[in-house]
Chain A
Amino acid sequence: MEPVVAPVKPETPAGIDNLGRNGDGFGGGDRLGGGGGGPDSRGWAGSVRVYRTGMWMALAAIVMLFAAFTSALVVRKGLSNDWVATALPRVLWLNTAVLIASSVTFEFSRRSLAGDPSFSARRFSRWLYVTLALGLAFIAGQLIAWRELASRGVYLATNPSSSFFYLLTGAHGLHLLGGIVALFYVALRARQLALAPAKRVVVDVTAIYWHFMDALWIYILLLLTVRS
């Protein structure tokens, strides 16, 4: 039987039919990418992609958390006759508009990076600060909504529907606060003029998170109005 071994020089590796160049669409291709790079880059395959993939995975987990809360709401509502719908404070609609606006302004900010060969810190930062302000305004608005409910005597344990109101808005608000911390971080890096092209992924993943929080809020609002 003829041997199938032929020793070859390392620079012409044999059996290269499947080095995974196009095979699976994930890492493990031949993207040996960028040079040594600074402290944040690994200088080799997948260096920036990890943040994007990581963010999508984090969102998957957050979806599961709110799925659990949703199924708890559906079950609890269908279970006994004690469900009395909580009238939503009107400020919630203003908060919704504020949050949607913040997503829009964030996009203005993010896209100002895109076609700009020499990064303009001012334009980027201006819209970023607006986004940050709107985000904080949303949180403030949510607290106002909570206080309005409390002034009506509607607290966490008053009724199952109010329990879910506080639970869902509280969980969303906490996650949004995390997003605000991320916005602060991005603003800080922008001020330090440390948002060179290789670093822009932090803006992109923060945007993914922020827009997701926006969409999640709309989902929660629908859940509370339609199912509650």
Chain B
Amino acid sequence: MHAEGAHQHQPPQRFIWKYIFSLDHKVIGKQYYFLALFSVVVGMALSWLIRIHLVWPNASIPGLDKLSAAGAPGGVMTPEYYLSLLTLHGTIMIFFVLTTAPQSGFGNYFLPIQIGAEDMAFPRLNMLSFWTTFVALVVLLATFFVTDGPPISGWTSYPPLSAVGSAAGPGEGLGQTLWVVSIAIFCVGSLLGALNFIVTTLDLRTRGMTLMRLPLTCWAWFVTAVLGLLSFAVLFGACVLLVLDRVGGTSFFIPAGLVVSDKVINHAGGSPLLWQHLFWFFGHPEVYIAILPGMGVTSHILSCFSRKPIFGYRAMAYSLMAIGFLSFTVWGHHMFLSGMSPYTAFSFSVFTMAIGVPSAIKTFNWLGTLWGGRLRFTTAMLFSIGFVSLFVTGGLSGLFLAQPAVDTSLHATYFVVAHFHMVMGVAAIFGMFAGTYFWFPKMFGRMMNETWGKVHFWITFVGVYCIFMPMHFIGIEGAIRRYSTSTVNYLIPMIPVHKFMTLWALITGAGQFIFLINVFWSMFKGEKASVNPWEGTSLEWTVPSPPPWDNFAGQHPVVYHGPYEYAVPGAAKDYVMQDSPEKVVAT
């Protein structure tokens, strides 16, 4: 049987069309989610290897020599292999965790339902996006198994290191080429997904679902998709140029006069700075792609569990758009030390600080939502409050880095590592945890264990502060990122701090197994979920848990209210569903 669309006359019956090449946005959303879950485990394991090496550089790590005999002879990691593991850690986490789960995972699953649609605009394109992303992951993981191992150039892959080939070091031959190819494939998958999200949001909203009645999750997914559409195309272009430099003999990025490992490099005239501009023009919107969905989820959850409308809905929507727009104007703040004119640096600096304004508006509005609310401290609520905390902490350090004069000292130190881990590695992840605990009942028809959820929250919350707060201080003291050991004089006193951070990294990592066990156990043995266990107002809480294959069982919901009608004076209950014909103050 040839499956035309998920919402055709009847759902597909055969296993391959139902679960593998499914066109159903809910299945695809779960596929993305589990791809991200697998990737985060791999990425976390890599982070353990990194942290262990930083503290015990000469230790023999069991099994590491099986992964790479050259990279870890006798299990002892070489400095180059440290860079390889670090490169893959960053690449996997940023692309295959932070760019997939929050947007393509939860977004795919819930955007159509929250707008009252049967599916995304282009189900076949959706299926293709997922499998393209899957292929990209396979190509990336393949770099572990090629002769020279993964590239050593970091997730940022700066030329000339990444452009001149194997002369530059282990992993810079086939490993680097595969990395670039993987990212290029990922770009294609992302572009297709972004297109789908935008068209779905614009064209498939049900009757009564105006833009200003969209849940803030939908707004976040929409702005994120716009960012993705415009920025991934640029990254794809950059990757094409890099591949041509590597295999085509061109010199887009390679300057003249290079001698690498005693080998004369026969390229000339190119500019490494060109790569930096192209990469960061993508790279900055990319980090907002990583955080915006988490902001949407946080707004959604804080409102629900404060039993109060989100404070300043319009401001929240406009702030998302402002952040999205401004994210295209700040890429130079990653390049303050590249030799740019101070006037250019000033411009990038001002725009970077300007992004703080809509971000602060959102933060104050989250606090305003909580204030005076009848708070319900579910696990999802805890993680959402945690998101606000981590976003503030991480965002504040960004303001320091936004000053070119200050960044002169802080660039490429652990201060930067602390900053981006706080916002991406923690806040965004908290958004994913919150989303999981909140939407798990809808996705799997069962409840997760709340007690273990709260244990997971507290271990993680305390743990991430223990891991990443000290990084700010050693960064200020001059600890340089991507260094594999602390053998230089002034770095030696920092080793005890590294030990503290490694200890907490391992404890926190272990705590994540509580989450994993909770997820998988609850999928099969959790208490059965009702239609609306959290008493939420948006459309996903009007359909069964899990929803039928076409979401609304052939009905087209009609929307009468905004998405956060909690504690409405005179209403029958403390919440009014979006599709309820109950008449309240017009929204």
Once A57-B229, A61-B191 are accepted as A-B contacts, the answer to whether A76 and B202 lie under 8 Å apart by CB is no
Q: Are B229 and A28 in contact (CB under 8 A)?
A: no
* Chain A residues within 8 Å of B277, by CB: 71, 75
A-facing mask of B206-245, CB < 8 A → 1, else 0? 1111111100000000000000011111101110110010
Chain A proximity of B6: nearest CB distance (Å)? 11
A-facing mask of B543-562, CB < 8 A → 1, else 0? 00000000000001010110
Is A20's beta carbon under 8 Å from chain B? Answer: yes
Is A178's beta carbon under 8 Å from chain B? Answer: no
Q: Tell me which of A6, A50, A69, A163 contacts B122 (CB under 8 A).
A: A50
Q: Are A75 and B249 in contact (CB under 8 A)?
A: no
Q: Are A23 and B249 in contact (CB under 8 A)?
A: no
Chain B proximity of A49: nearest CB distance (Å)? 5
* Chain B residues within 8 Å of A163, by CB: 244, 248, 250-252
Binds B, one of A11-19, A95-103, A112-120, A133-141: A11-19
Is A222's beta carbon under 8 Å from chain B? Answer: no
Binds B, one of A36-44, A121-129, A146-154: A36-44
Give the one of A24, A57, A69 with max B CB within 10 A. A57
Q: Are B581 and A60 in contact (CB under 8 A)?
A: no
A interface residues, tally (CB under 8 Å):
61
Is A27's beta carbon under 8 Å from chain B? Answer: yes
Q: Tell me which of B4, B194, B234, B240 contacts A67 (CB under 8 A).
A: B234
Q: Tell me which of B122, B250, B278, B584 contacts A15 (CB under 8 A).
A: B584
Q: How far is the CA of A27 from the CA of B209 in the complex (A)?
A: 9
Q: Are B204 and A82 in contact (CB under 8 A)?
A: no
* Chain A residues within 8 Å of B251, by CB: 157, 160, 163
Chain B proximity of A59: nearest CB distance (Å)? 10
Q: Tell me the residues in window 1-33 of chain A with beta carbons closer than 8 Å to chain B beta carbons.
A: 1, 3-10, 13-20, 23-24, 26-30, 32
Q: Are B240 and A167 in contact (CB under 8 A)?
A: yes
* Chain B residues within 8 Å of A160, by CB: 250-252, 269-270
Q: Tell me the residues in window 48-86 of chain A with beta carbons closer than 8 Å to chain B beta carbons.
A: 49-50, 53-54, 57-58, 60-69, 71-72, 75-76, 79-80, 82-83
B interface residues, tally (CB under 8 Å):
68
Q: How far is the CA of A26 from the CA of B222 in the complex (A)?
A: 14
Chain B proximity of A92: nearest CB distance (Å)? 21
Is B488's beta carbon under 8 Å from chain A? Answer: no
Q: Are B237 and A15 in contact (CB under 8 A)?
A: no
Is B586's beta carbon under 8 Å from chain A? Answer: yes
Give the one of A28, A50, A66 with max B CB within 10 A. A28
Chain A proximity of B10: nearest CB distance (Å)? 12
* Least CB separation from B4: chain A residue: A39
Q: How far is the CA of A49 from the CA of B121 in the complex (A)?
A: 10
Q: Tell me which of A17, A54, A61 contacts B233 (CB under 8 A).
A: A61
* Chain B residues within 8 Å of A27, by CB: 202-205
Q: How far is the CA of A62 from the CA of B232 in the complex (A)?
A: 10
Q: Are A65 and B210 in contact (CB under 8 A)?
A: no
Q: Are B583 and A15 in contact (CB under 8 A)?
A: yes
* Least CB separation from A64: chain B residue: B233
Query: Secondary structure of the B side of the interface?
Result: loop
Chain B proximity of A86: nearest CB distance (Å)? 13
Is A45's beta carbon under 8 Å from chain B? Answer: yes
Is B321's beta carbon under 8 Å from chain A? Answer: no
Q: Are A28 and B238 in contact (CB under 8 A)?
A: no
Is B20's beta carbon under 8 Å from chain A? Answer: no
Q: Are A57 and B241 in contact (CB under 8 A)?
A: no
Q: How far is the CA of A75 from the CA of B252 in the complex (A)?
A: 9
Q: Tell me which of B191, B270, B570 contacts A76 (CB under 8 A).
A: B270
* Chain B residues within 8 Å of A30, by CB: 207
Q: How far is the CA of A79 from the CA of B379 in the complex (A)?
A: 55
Is B491's beta carbon under 8 Å from chain A? Answer: no
Is A156's beta carbon under 8 Å from chain B? Answer: yes
Is B574's beta carbon under 8 Å from chain A? Answer: no
Q: Tell me which of A5, A17, A39, A72 contacts B586 (CB under 8 A).
A: A17
Q: How far is the CA of A10 from the CA of B237 in the complex (A)?
A: 53
Q: Tell me which of A28, A61, A64 contacts B208 (CB under 8 A).
A: A28
Q: Are A69 and B237 in contact (CB under 8 A)?
A: yes
Q: Are B207 and A32 in contact (CB under 8 A)?
A: yes
Q: Are A53 and B207 in contact (CB under 8 A)?
A: no
* Chain A residues within 8 Å of B231, by CB: 64
Q: Are A76 and B234 in contact (CB under 8 A)?
A: no
Q: Are B271 and A46 in contact (CB under 8 A)?
A: no
Q: Are A53 and B198 in contact (CB under 8 A)?
A: yes
* Chain A residues within 8 Å of B244, by CB: 156, 163, 167
Q: Tell me which of A44, A60, A71, A83 contacts B556 (CB under 8 A).
A: A44
Q: Are A4 and B569 in contact (CB under 8 A)?
A: yes
Q: Are A68 and B278 in contact (CB under 8 A)?
A: yes
Q: How far is the CA of A28 from the CA of B587 in the complex (A)?
A: 15
Q: Are A10 and B581 in contact (CB under 8 A)?
A: yes
* Chain A residues within 8 Å of B4, by CB: 39-40
Q: Are A13 and B560 in contact (CB under 8 A)?
A: yes
Once A6-B583, A61-B233 are accepted as A-B contacts, the answer to whether A19 and B252 lie under 8 Å apart by CB is no
Q: Are A28 and B581 in contact (CB under 8 A)?
A: no
* Chain A residues within 8 Å of B233, by CB: 61-65, 68
Once A49-B203, A72-B274 are accepted as A-B contacts, the answer to whether A32 and B556 lie under 8 Å apart by CB is yes
Once A5-B584, A76-B270, A80-B268 are accepted as A-B contacts, the answer to whether A42 and B118 lie under 8 Å apart by CB is yes
* Chain A residues within 8 Å of B274, by CB: 72, 75-76, 79
Q: Are A61 and B195 in contact (CB under 8 A)?
A: yes
Q: Are A20 and B208 in contact (CB under 8 A)?
A: yes
Q: Are B230 and A61 in contact (CB under 8 A)?
A: yes
Is B358's beta carbon under 8 Å from chain A? Answer: no
Q: How far is the CA of A157 from the CA of B246 in the complex (A)?
A: 11
Q: Are B271 and A75 in contact (CB under 8 A)?
A: yes
* Least CB separation from B7: chain A residue: A42
Chain B proximity of A219: nearest CB distance (Å)? 15
Once A39-B5, A72-B241 are accepted as A-B contacts, the answer to whether A82 and B252 lie under 8 Å apart by CB is no
Is B256's beta carbon under 8 Å from chain A? Answer: yes
Q: Are B560 and A5 in contact (CB under 8 A)?
A: no
* Chain A residues within 8 Å of B561, by CB: 15
Is B13's beta carbon under 8 Å from chain A? Answer: no
A-facing mask of B269-281, CB < 8 A → 1, else 0? 1110010011001
Give the top 9 A-B pairs by smallest Cβ distance, nearest first: A157-B249, A28-B205, A68-B237, A14-B583, A46-B203, A20-B210, A64-B233, A3-B570, A39-B4
18 residue pairs bridging A and B, Cβ less than 8 Å apart: A4-B584, A5-B584, A10-B581, A14-B583, A15-B586, A26-B205, A28-B208, A28-B209, A29-B207, A45-B206, A46-B204, A53-B202, A54-B122, A61-B232, A64-B234, A75-B277, A82-B269, A156-B244
Other than the known A19-B207, A26-B205, what 20 A-B pairs have Cβ atoms closer than 8 Å? A8-B581, A8-B583, A13-B558, A15-B560, A20-B208, A23-B210, A24-B210, A26-B211, A39-B5, A40-B4, A42-B5, A46-B204, A50-B122, A54-B196, A61-B230, A64-B230, A79-B269, A163-B252, A167-B240, A167-B241
